Structure 1
Amino acid sequence: MPIGALIQHRILRPLAMDASFIPERGADNRAVMDGAWMRRVVQGYSDQGTAVGPIGDQQSYFDFPGTGQMFSSARDLATFAAACVDGRAIDPNLREALRMTQREVFRVDDKFGQGMAWETVRLPGVTVIDKPGGLNNASGYIGLVPSRRIAIVLLANRGEYPHEIARYKILPALAHLLASHAG
C-alpha cells in the first residue's frame, strides 16, 4: 500500500485530521490538488523573504523516493501533537505506535538521541522530544515534553528553522513552570 494511503488510513482518519494529506505528484513533480486545497496553501519564501517556487511546490532536490510533502492545518497539527503527548482519547494501538516512534533507538551523545521519527534532547531538568524540519520555502517544528503533557507546533512559510527558541527556551520554561505548580 502506498505510504500516503497508510498514513491516511492509520493516522489521519482515526485522529479526525481532515485537513491533512499527502498529495499525488504529477509528471512535472508538482502536487496535484483540487482548487479548494490550493486556495489553502501558502506561498513559500526564502529566509531572505523572496518567493520560492509556485504555491504548493516541492523543490525537486528534496524529492527522494518514498518521500514528499504533507499538507496540514494548524488545527490538525495541534490534534496530532495532543495525541503524541497524551493519547488517552485515541485507540490504544495508535497510541502505542505514536509512542514507539518517540523512543530513542540511537544515542548520538549525552544530550542528543534519535528515535524512528523524533529527536530526543536532554536538557537540565527536562527531556524534549521533537522534530524540526522544512524545505527552503517552508519550515515547521513539533516539540513535546510528554512527562508534562506539553506540546508546541510552529509553522512558517519561510525557509528558516524556528525550532531553537522552542526547543531550548519555551518548552523547558513551560515544563519548569508546570513542575513548580504541581509541587
Structure 2
Amino acid sequence: MRKVGLFALVLSGLLCGSGPAAAEDPLTRIAAAVERAYRPLLKEYDVPGLAVAVTRSGHSAVFTFGLADRERQRPVTRDTLFEIGSVSKTLTATLAAYAQALGRLSLADAPSRFLPPLRGSALDRVSLLDLGTYTAGGLPLQFPGGVTDAAAMIAYFREWRPSAPPGTQRLYSNPSLGLFGAATAAAMGGDFADLMETRLFPGLGLAHSFIRVPASEMERYAWGYGRNDRPIRVSRGVLDAEAYGVKSSAADMIRFVEAHLLDPGRLDPPLRRAVEGTGVGYSRTGEMVQALGWELLPYPLTLERLQAANADSVRFEAQPAARLDPPQAPKGATLFNKTGSTNGFGAYVAFVPAKRIGLVMLANRAFPIPARIAAAHAVLEALADEAP
C-alpha cells in the first residue's frame, strides 16, 4: 500500500484508474472500503469532519473527510488535531509502563508511595495495577461535581471506601486512570504534561501530539461540535490530562499504532519494553481481557462480539473481574481496541498485531460508539483480506 495523504487523492485514483492493474490495486480497494464505511456517517450523524488512518504491513494511508472548522471552512487534513478523549488512556498507560521499565515504579506499588497525602486511606490497599485496570473496587466513572481542584480531589480519595475487594470488580473510571497517571508522574519526579510532551511523544515519534496545544499549532486544532452544534473544546478538570487530555492527529496516532505492529527496535529499549508491556493482559471480564489502556479480544471476531465488548454495560456498569495470575501476553491473534470521547469529539483505535493491520478514526463530533465500531470493523475486514 502506498503512502497517501488526503482522501481526495485516493478517491481520484479510485475514480480515474483504468485497466485490470488499477482495479486490483490494494489501496484502491481499501480506499473504497473506507469510503463506504465512513462517508455515510457524516450525513447520518451530522459529523463535520473526520480522519481515518489505516496501516497494513508497515504501509499507512490517511483519508480525510469534511471540515475541522465549519465557521472558517477549514478542511480536515492528516495533521489536524483532534481531542482523542479516553484513547489518551493508552498513552498514559505507556508512560506508566515506561516508568516501570526505568525502575521508577512497580505496578504492585500503592499510589500512596508516590502521593504521600493518600497515606492512611483505603488506597493504601490498592495497587497501581488496580488503578490502571479499573479494578480498585468501585471508583466511579467521574468525580462528584464538588471535586474541582487538587485539594478536593485528595479529600475525595481519602474519604473513598471500596465496594468490592481490589482486583475482583471492573468499573471503568476516569478517577482511577487519572490517579494512575498522577502517581506515574510523581514516581518520575515530573509534571505529567511535561513528561508526555517532552519524553513520551518525542520518543514515539509523535510530532503533532499535545496535552497543551501551543499557539503555533492552534491553526491545526479542530473545533468539536456538541449537542447544540456550537463549536466546543474540552474543559479543564481534575486529572483531565491523565484520563482524556491528549490532542493528536490521525498521522500521529497511526504511527503510535505501528509502534505495536512493527519491529519496535527503532525505539529506545525502555520505551520498547513499555509499548510491549501495554499489551499484557491483567484481568478478564467476560470475553475481554484488560491490559494497560488497551482492551483485548480474540481475533477474528464478528461485529456482534466487538459491539458487545464495547457496550454501555461494559463501560458504565460494574462487572466481575478475574485477575490473570500470572499476567498473560496475548495468545494467538488478538484485537487491541479503545474508544474515546469528549463533548465535541469521538475516536476509535483498533489493531491486530498478528495481521499487522490497524485503524484510527478521529472525528469532531462524538457520534455513537456502535456506529464507530461498525465502520471500523468493515475496514479492518478489508485490511485483513489484503494482508499477506
Interval containing the TM-score (normalised by the shorter chain): 0.7 to 0.9
Higher helix share: 2
* 1:100 equivalenced with 2:277 (yes/no): yes
| TM-score, L = length of structure 1 | 0.76
> Which of residues 379, 385, 388 is equivalent to 1:170?
379
State the alpha-carbon separation in 2 of the partners of residues 121 and 171 from structure 1: 14
State the alpha-carbon separation in 1 of the partners of residues 294 and 372 from structure 2: 13
Q: Which stretches of structure 1, 4 residues or longer, exceed 3 Å deviation after superposition?
A: 123-126, 166-169
State the alpha-carbon separation in 2 of the partners of residues 165 and 68 from structure 1: 23
Contact kept in structure 1, 2:341 and 2:366, CA below 8 Å: yes
Match of 1:118 in 2: 294
Which structure 2 residue ranges, 5 or more long, are not aligned? 1-189, 302-332
Match of 1:156 in 2: 363
State the alpha-carbon separation in 2 of the partners of residues 124 and 74 from structure 1: 25
Match of 2:353 in 1: 146
Residue 19 of structure 1: how far off its partner (Å): 1.2
For the pair shown, the structure with the greater C-alpha radius of gyration is: 2
Please give the residue correspondences for 1:10-159 in structure 2 after superposition, counting only pairs within 5 Å. 10-23=199-212, 33-34=214-215, 36-46=216-226, 50-53=229-232, 57-59=233-235, 63-65=237-239, 66-86=242-262, 87-109=264-286, 111-124=287-300, 126-159=333-366
Q: 1:144 to 1:3 in 2, by over 3 A?
A: same
Residue identity matched to 2:379: I
How many residue pairs are counted as aligned between the two chains?
Answer: 163
RMSD between aligned alpha carbons?
Answer: 2.4
Residue 75 of structure 1: how far off its partner (Å): 1.7
Contact kept in structure 2, 1:106 and 1:113, CA below 8 Å: yes
Residue 151 of structure 1: how far off its partner (Å): 1.5
Which structure 1 residue ranges, 5 or more long, are not aligned? 24-31
Give a deviation string over 1:154-177, Cα, whole Å, max 9, x none.
110011235312553332443354
Contact kept in structure 1, 2:296 and 2:336, CA below 8 Å: yes
Residue identity matched to 1:103: V
Match of 1:9 in 2: 198
Question: Which SS does the other structure have where 2:203 is aligned?
Answer: coil
Contact kept in structure 1, 2:346 and 2:365, CA below 8 Å: yes
State percent identity of aligned pairs.
Answer: 29
More relative contact order, 1 or 2 (CA 8 Å, 6+ apart): 2
